[in-house]
Copies of this chain bind each other. A is one copy, B any other.
Amino acid sequence: MGADDLAREHGHRTVTPAADRQESSTPNGTPPAPDLARLYRPRSIAVVGASANPDKLGHQILRNIIDSGYSGHIYPINPKAETILGLTCYPSIEQAPAVDLAVIVVPAEAVVPVAEACGRHGVAHLVVISAGFKEVGPDGARREAALVEVCRRYGMGLVGPNCLGVIDTHTPLNATFASAQPVRGSIAFISQSGALGSAILDWSHQQNIGFSRFISLGNKAGLTEVDLILDAASDPHTNVVCAYLEDVKDGARFLDVVGEATQRRPVLILKSGTSEAGGRAASSHTGALAGDDRAYQCAFNQTGVIRVQSLTELFSLATAFANQPLPAGPRVAIVTNAGGPGIIATDAVERMGLATARLAPETVKALREQLPPECAVYNPVDVVGDAPPERYRVALEAVARDPGVDAILVLLTPQVPTRPPEVARHVLAAREMAPGKPIMVSMIGGELVREATDFLVAHRIPCFTFPEEAVMALAGMYRYARRRQRGPSPSATRLADVRPDEARAVLERLRSEGRRVLLGPEAAQVAAAYGIRVAPAALARTPDEAVAAAESIGYPVALKIASPEIVHKSDVGGVRLRLASADAVREAFVEIQERVSSLMPQHRFYGIEVSRMMPSGQELIIGMVRDRQFGPVLAFGMGGIYVNLLKDVSFRLARVLSQADVEEMIQETKVYQLLRGYRGAEPADLAAIQEALARVARLALDLPEVAELDVNPLFAYRSGEGYVAVDVKMTLA
């Protein structure tokens, strides 16, 4: 492809088809991803800081661009050289012809002026290789801010600074200083660590793993992981998007748009480091339960990102996704020539959420007729140790044709009659026969299987040394396929019947009084404004007020000292239950007031809470804490005093809470077994509990000043009878 072709193709891309436009709109209205066509497929590139000295990065990058076979225009920018590597130099960017992409490798202090010049010259994207920015301290941070400002002013995209560069093997273009060149393929790899990225490029060569793109994020001052993931998910040459991340820069934008990317392509993320979630030192139950990493876990789950725990897992899965169709279901057929690996694979299939396919009677019959009697014709199909390749052919054809088989796993141990290369050819033939079924291969061995595995990998059949790895990759594909089939679930938090103004008025009053902790009736009032069913309650400052409240609420009532300071209210004699008459209420009021004031003479009297005694139900907790990155984290689980002991709690982020999330977060807990009717008991009102969760989420989204919230206990009643929030605690930021 020449520069003109690139230009033409580029022009073509600017006519965005309607479908694409629709896809790039986002539900919550965050800006769509920037157009990165001129980053990955520039018509022309300037290397600012190009050098004739082979030891300099400015030389290595230029050489990589040339060596990669890039067919557009290349302009080395260097005021002191005439030509470098046979290309005409320009003394400055302004003196070069039109430039789409400028790769900047000048000393840090020169970067901002160079960027300014690039902006004036109409450059579309900058890749700033130079280090010496935020990572070196306050001076660098100031420099970085200035760079961002220049890019913003001129509407330039910015990769880096402090990065390795950008590769697109299909353009082709390698604008990095990595010493290893990637093989062309369909994995896009986005790395927050440049060193890891270049090491992976070297390793991938040996493994014959092919990349469509590679991009080093550097300091992520301009383009972030979200921009790059979103764009890669639309790249026709990319089948799977992989990222190594140490953090997510803009949690809200991540939540708003990554779900869309994962509907198009599988997105695998290895996230290292632990986030310091806001909840860490929180005082609420929910805060103590929501661990450091929980919000990231939720963000990945809820957007459909597949989170991997290791680099091994990342590339095993990536290889599978890159080369194989998604399985239509969980049913795996195993063909092996040895019992042991067959058992190992079967164990792994069941452990990892897949199923052993039950072969159709015709399949079993065909196998029985064509294989010797010592072979096992049920799944796993064992062609046994003395199998020549022909038996593999028979077995593979049979399972490939069986409509009850969604995926095929071929296991081989090299024995005397095995002839692995011939078996490999039969594997290929099976793929032709069943192009919709993923096929994974594990040939256990070294030299004896090398020719066969090389052949298979060259033909895009993933090969693993050990069966468990193949199963792990298949299981990941199945999870993704199921999730994508399900499609997006509607938001659970679009509720019409909420009264934010009423809630804000309560919070406003607190703020004006300089208080952070809401009294019980105040918290209940805020909750009620969001349609959460709370036990009728009122704050009384005198015995008469208490009696009046009780009369209006209805007996029996409970009295409880209202106080943000007193945590264990019954320990100080601050609680009286089951009061059934005006006299009892009056007497209890006086008693509580006296007990508290004698035990805690300094205590400010806020009043006494009068609340209706509610019939008890299954105790639940619904809670909320805020994560710095991703906003409100919702918690649901078994309530009562043992919440922190049993830790039977599930979590979701409120910002992208879908109806499916609400249902799943209930189903994930053990208390769900009780709610749906344990040992013949009547089921609880699940619809009402789901609604309560959605309402708490809506509250958290509308009222950012509410830092933490605990509804504990919430009594769940029988189906049709709803629930009641017995105790609501709320704290402001």
Binding site for B on A (CB under 8 A): 60, 136, 179-180, 191-196, 198-200, 202-207, 244, 246, 270, 272-274, 309-312, 337-341, 343-344, 346-348, 374, 385, 413-416, 444-450, 465-469, 642, 645-648, 670, 673-674, 678
Q: Is the CB of B180 within 8 A of A446?
A: yes
Most buried by B among A310, A648, A678: A310
CA distance A198 to B413 in the complex (A): 8
- Tell whether A414 pairs with B339 under 8 Å between CB atoms, given A309-B468, A466-B311: no
Q: Name A446's contact: one of B207, B270, B347, B468 (CB within 8 Å).
A: B207
Q: Is the CB of B413 within 8 A of A196?
A: yes
A720 to chain B, nearest CB (A): 23
Residues from chain B with Cβ under 8 Å of A447 in the complex: 180, 202, 205-206
A547 to chain B, nearest CB (A): 35
Q: Name A340's contact: one of B191, B448, B468 (CB within 8 Å).
A: B191
- Tell whether A273 pairs with B343 under 8 Å between CB atoms, given A202-B414, A203-B465, A312-B468: yes
- Copies of this chain, complex-wide, total 2
12 contacts between A and B (CB under 8 A): A179-B448, A195-B385, A195-B415, A196-B338, A196-B413, A203-B444, A206-B447, A246-B340, A272-B340, A311-B444, A642-B674, A645-B678
CA distance A246 to B446 in the complex (A): 24
Q: Is the CB of B341 within 8 A of A416?
A: no
Q: Is the CB of B344 within 8 A of A416?
A: no
Residues from chain B with Cβ under 8 Å of A339 in the complex: 193, 195, 246
CA distance A468 to B311 in the complex (A): 8
A394 to chain B, nearest CB (A): 19
Q: Is the CB of A206 within 8 A of B338?
A: no
* A467, closest chain B residue (CB): B311
Q: Is the CB of B196 within 8 A of A341?
A: yes
* A679, closest chain B residue (CB): B641
- Tell whether A206 pairs with B246 under 8 Å between CB atoms, given A310-B466, A341-B193, A414-B179: no
Residues from chain B with Cβ under 8 Å of A645 in the complex: 670, 673-674, 678
Residues from chain B with Cβ under 8 Å of A337 in the complex: 195
- Tell whether A196 pairs with B340 under 8 Å between CB atoms, given A312-B466, A466-B312, A645-B670: yes
Residues from chain B with Cβ under 8 Å of A444 in the complex: 196, 199-200, 202-203, 311
Residues from chain B with Cβ under 8 Å of A193 in the complex: 338-341
Q: Is the CB of A195 within 8 A of B341?
A: yes
CA distance A192 to B342 in the complex (A): 13
CA distance A673 to B641 in the complex (A): 13
Q: Is the CB of A202 within 8 A of B272?
A: no
CA distance A467 to B311 in the complex (A): 9
CA distance A251 to B448 in the complex (A): 37
* A647, closest chain B residue (CB): B670
Most buried by B among A344, A374, A648: A344
* A315, closest chain B residue (CB): B466
Q: Is the CB of B446 within 8 A of A311?
A: no
Most buried by B among A274, A415, A647, A670: A415
Residues from chain B with Cβ under 8 Å of A347 in the complex: 272-274
Q: Name A180's contact: one of B340, B448, B678 (CB within 8 Å).
A: B448
Q: Is the CB of B446 within 8 A of A272?
A: no
Q: Is the CB of B272 within 8 A of A344?
A: yes
- Tell whether A203 pairs with B272 under 8 Å between CB atoms, given A193-B341, A196-B338: no
CA distance A468 to B309 in the complex (A): 9
The 6 A-B residue pairs with the shortest CB-CB distance, nearest first, are A193-B340, A206-B446, A195-B338, A199-B413, A199-B444, A196-B340
CA distance A236 to B315 in the complex (A): 40
Q: Is the CB of A311 within 8 A of B202?
A: no
A684 to chain B, nearest CB (A): 14
Residues from chain B with Cβ under 8 Å of A179 in the complex: 414, 416, 448
